[in-house]
Structure 1
Amino acid sequence: MQRLTYDDIKRASGRVAGHVRPVALAPADPGEPGGLPCETWFALEHIQHTGSFKARGAHNFLAAHREEGALPDAGVTIASGGNAGLACAWAARRLGVPATVFLPETAPAVKVSKLRGYGADVRLTGTEYAEALAACQAFAASTGALSSHAYDHPLIAAGAGTLLDEILQRLPGLDTVVVAVGGGGLFAGVATAARHHGVRVVAVEPENCRALDAALAAGSPVDVAVDSVAADSLGARRVSRTALEAAQHGDVHTVLVPDDAIVEARQSLWDDRRLAVEHAAGTAWAALTCGAYLPGRGERIAVVLCGANTDPSDLVR
């Protein structure tokens, strides 16, 4: 697989312009969190199309294949009932491409309904993700459909990386960007762009969904156990090699946060700002609120709120 470069992200920016919502930024209260002397902003990517940053990578992936004349009549296929599947179905509809999405039979009806609302052909197969993935791979092999991935592809990561350039356009002088890490697509793209601009990246994982942390310790991607309140979005068992390579640079700082801090951070975003976000977004904010990352005096920080596909009923108390 090709190495991700900043040129890939610039090309992605051209493809997604006018198709995704430009990121909005909102300031945290002065002196937050905990009275630390830093300037903190929220990158509100949870209001992106389909409710997460994934729309960027999905559109870039399909648009790049269309440019190359490599979009087959059978369209695109993916095994994912989460944000990646929704983004793939959305992007396919925007580009007039058939999308076939494979899910376990146990998938929540609300996700199935939303996928069908985007025009996807939803195939329910087996009771576990692995069975849906196998069916997706068999479908791609038999029909010639283009197989997409939730995070482990340079076009997906490059699309996600367009977020950093947009943040810098609105927040010049940015010192640090804080992102949650699951499989590593968002992190790899953002870190690649950040390195070009001299911006520090704080990569945040739940303590019990630590695929990047484990890969750094082992020197290569390894399988990890997954057990976190944020596992629905950050529960990749193995981080991408692209993400590992991005994390091995000196301008990246990796931290782990406990589940109770994630829950508290997510709740605070609702209580104090009426932002209903996923636990993955709470994970990024928790790096600051629980002290896993300690900013310097005057440091200008952007915290990426990456998604909002969540049940908000547990936020009201």
Structure 2
Amino acid sequence: MSDALPETPSVESRPTAWLPLAPQGVAAFALASFSRLLTVTLVGGLVSGAVVAWFVNSAWFPVVGQAGRNLPAAGSRIAARLEWTGPSPMVLAANRYLALVVDLEHSGKAGQTADLQLELTRQEIFVSGLLGGVALRYPETIELSLDQREFIPWWGAWRQALITGIVISAGLGLLVVWFLLGLLYAPAAKLISFLFSRPLPWRAAWKMAVASLMPGALVMNAAIALYAWGWIDLVRLGFFAVFHLPIAWIYLGVSPLCLPRPAATERVKENPFASATDKNPGRKGRNPFASEE
């Protein structure tokens, strides 16, 4: 019985690289073309971008729309500083996800009423959340009207465009991040595949490393949906955000086992003491006693 290892499958018999959700699917991308990897990761990035846009549209944008209806009728704007004609402090609108507050003196009287709070003061906007807060100066080159009669039509005209922009920018941004992380994880993929006697070239190791990030992205998409539906809070969402990253490491450790082994080459060693006839059985020596006819 031969101990030879199975040969590398031909292109026709290779598994189709479409769904990098199981170790076999991730390993298949090591043998797939770059165009296949680009297609799948681009679709995955746009799906993740759509999930983010859906969350923003369902959780944050209603607060922005309600805040627009609570703006002063006229006389308020942001132009390097906030010019405000309404009362302060004032909660313009809020839900459990987002609160928009005006507090000119940053007195803190409005409190923290949401997971993310944007507080408009005279000179800056204060962003606060679970991990603390940061103050951002108003841009000097941008002027934004906070009049109700101007903001509401503007918001109605640009809301859908903003959603589309979120989908595209988040999708392309994730694509770039995944490709860069693939460069970071490629040495590990190459080393692990070598230790499992399934060596990969650098390009194949990088493709498998990129594909290993897809299952974690799917988990994060599910976590965002659970947060949007109110099934988990911000702390648990942060837990998912941190621990979805090691999922790629797990796939990198397991997926090389699903790679085909290289074809084994059997080498027949020659016997240095064998005669020429033994080395070539088809060749027979001449009989010196045979008569010539």
TM class, shorter-length = under 0.3
TM-score (norm 2): 0.27
Larger Cα-atom Rg: 2
| Higher RCO structure (Cα 8 Å, ≥6 apart) | 2
